[in-house]
Amino acid sequence: MNIPVISLVLLLVTCQACSQKKDISTETKQVTVGDGCEGCEAVFESPVPFESLSSTDTLPGFTLEEPKIEISGIVYKSDGSTPAPGVVIYLYHTDRNGYYSPSAEPKGLERRHGKNRGWLKTNDKGEYKFFTFRPAPYPNAEFPAHIHPTIKEPGKTEYWIDDYVFDDDKFVNEGYRNKAENRGGDGIVTLQKNDNGIYSAKRNIILGKNIPNYKD
In the chain the first and final C-alpha atoms are separated, in Å, by 54
The mean of the pLDDT values for the chain is: 90
Instruction: Taking residues 118-141, report their average pLDDT.
Output: 98
Query: For the segment 12-49, what is each residue's pLDDT rounded down to a tens digit?
Result: 434 444 433 444 444 568 999 999 899 999 999 999 99
Structural domains of the chain sorted by starting position, each given as residue range(s) with its CATH number in brackets? 30-206 (2.60.130.10)
Instruction: Taking residues 189-196, report their average pLDDT.
Output: 96
Answering whether pTM is above 0.85, one says: yes
Burial of residue 2, with CB atoms counted within 10 A of its CB: 0-12 exposed, 13-18 middle, 19 or more buried? exposed
- C-alpha torsion sign, points 177, 130, 100, 168: positive
* Helices marked H in 34-137: 110-113
The neighbour count for residue 215, using CB atoms within 10 Å, is: 11
Beta bridge partners of 165: 146, 188
Identity at 211, one-letter amino acid code: I
